């Protein structure tokens, strides 16, 4: 079981290097997904604004996710009211720890935090990512729609 907490400045290097390890694992597996590396100044900005969450298991950092207000351009493009929505992105679990259910645990922790604040969650993934789409549906997210994004399509999910 994991514990989710707000990231602190001291977590910046961990989140950056985690994004490097996760991207290397994705590339090695043949995935086209791009999640990192996330530049240190961007990580620091997310932490400073309170949008970065760290997952811990037995006192060890094992993952991270960003949860920020849904941007106006995203809300308009996807036809979603902007108020009270949070956008969940960059869900990352240590590659050596994948397959233990911690990604789902981390999303559930964010869901509990958002529910306590009366917030809804929006997230997206590549349309062809069957594994992620199953994960999100299993966590109670509902497909809102599929949208063109440059030369591919994304699936946008809502949770409330």
Which tens digit of pLDDT belongs to each residue from 6-57?
Answer: 999 999 999 999 999 999 999 998 887 888 899 999 999 999 999 999 999 9
Rounded to whole angstroms, the Cα distance separating 87 from 97 reads 24
Encoded tokens for 78: 């996807």
Tell me which of 2.40.10.220, 3.40.50.12160, 2.40.30.10, 3.40.630.30 is the CATH number of domain 3-159: 3.40.630.30
pTM above threshold 0.85: yes
pLDDT on residue 24: 95
**What integer pLDDT is reported at residue 31 of this predicted model?**
81
pLDDT of residue 8: 98
**Lowest mean pLDDT, pick from 28-32, 83-87, 108-112, 141-145:** 28-32
Q: What is the mean pLDDT of residues 86-99?
A: 94
Which pLDDT score is estimated for 136? 96
pLDDT for 99 beyond 90: no
**Could you tell me which residue, 63 or 82, shows the higher pLDDT?**
63
What is the per-residue pLDDT for 100?
85
Report how far residue 32's alpha carbon sits from residue 28's, in angstroms, rounded to the nearest whole number: 10
Task: Reply yes or no on whether the pLDDT at 82 is more than 80.
Answer: no
- The C-alpha atoms of residue 6 and residue 66 are separated, in whole angstroms, by 10
Provide the pairing of β-strand 142-149 with 152-159. antiparallel
Task: Report the pLDDT value the prediction gives residue 62, as an integer from 0 to 100.
Answer: 96
Q: What whole-number distance in Å separates Cα of residue 4 and Cα of residue 53?
A: 6
Burial zone of 126 (CB within 10 Å; 0-12 exposed, 13-18 middle, 19+ buried): middle
């Amino acid at each position: 079981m994991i514990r989710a907490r707000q990231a602190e400045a001291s977590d910046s290097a961990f989140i950056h290097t985690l994004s490097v390890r996760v991207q290397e694992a994705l590339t090695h597996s043949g995935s086209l997904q791009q999640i990192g590396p996330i530049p240190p100044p961007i990580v620091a900005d997310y932490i400073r604004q309170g949008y970065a969450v760290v997952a811990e298991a037995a006192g060890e950092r094992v993952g991270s996710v960003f949860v920020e207000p849904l941007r106006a351009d995203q809300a308009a493009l996807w036809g979603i009211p902007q108020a009270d929505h949070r956008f969940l992105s960059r869900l990352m679990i240590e590659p050596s720890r994948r397959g233990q259910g911690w990604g789902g645990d981390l999303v559930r922790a964010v869901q509990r935090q958002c529910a306590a604040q009366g917030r809804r969650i929006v997230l997206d993934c590549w349309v062809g990512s069957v594994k992620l789409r199953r994960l999100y549906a299993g966590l109670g997210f509902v497909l809102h729609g599929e949208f063109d994004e440059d030369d591919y399509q994304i699936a946008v999910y809502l949770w409330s």
